[in-house]
Homo-oligomer: A and B are copies of this chain.
Amino acid sequence: MDKEIDAKNISQAVISRLPRYFRYLGELKDSNVERISSQELSEMMKVTASQIRQDFNNFGGFGQQGYGYRVNYLYDEIGKILGLNKTHHLIIVGAGNLGQALANYMNFERRGFHFKGIFDSNEQLHGKKIRDMYVQPMENLESFVKDNDIDIAVLTIPKTSAVAVAEELVGYGVKAFWNFAHVDLNVPKEIVVESVHLSDSLLKLSYNINRKENEDEE
């Protein structure tokens, strides 16, 4: 093991900010920026420089007084904390509009996720080519997951089938889900689940509009 950071003692609040740091650093890197001060990063990201320094201190700092942060180094280190140096095998279950959107636009490979296959129960979609994959029937799931060491499944299926399909996939060896079905999965606690509940997000939007309007009325 290389220089190890004690990831367990990093708060979830810091963790939840890492992807955004990673995104901004990626853009700086793409623009060939070599170093940046916490002050400059603060202005770009609209968070305080002190917050940035505190957050980065969790990972041993990365910075040098009066010099700023080395963009490439910081990008790589945060990438390692995010586990992007590891390789995973991923399938998408559900080849409707959302499954297709994710297959076409998410750069899974850049994050170490190798996109290996896409499945749907709808016969009319079988054999349809999405990116460079043919949509496969659900009957292929078991052998495909086992033969290809699939450890991650993206679920873009209706909530009525998601819970059962997730349980089935866990039985075949899937270790993590990126879940877009609008339901809480019922899987053992060692299984990692990251849910994107779009309806919940829409309700938050509604709440914030409502609050703003009430403020304006006062």
- Chain A residues engaging chain B, CB cutoff 8 angstroms: 7-8, 15-16, 18-20, 22-23, 45-46, 81-84, 86, 88, 96-98, 100-102, 104-108, 111-113, 151-152, 175-176, 178, 182, 184, 190, 192, 194, 196-215
Contacts and interface: CB of A to CB of B under 8 A. Distances in A.
B82 A206 contact: yes
Contacts of A152: 205, 209
How many identical subunits does the complex contain? 2
Contact of A205 (B23, B46, B182, B192): B192
Most B CB atoms within 10 A — which of A100, A105, A197? Answer: A105
Most B CB atoms within 10 A — which of A83, A111, A202, A212? Answer: A202
A204 B194 contact: yes
A178 B215 CA distance: 21
A142 B91 CA distance: 41
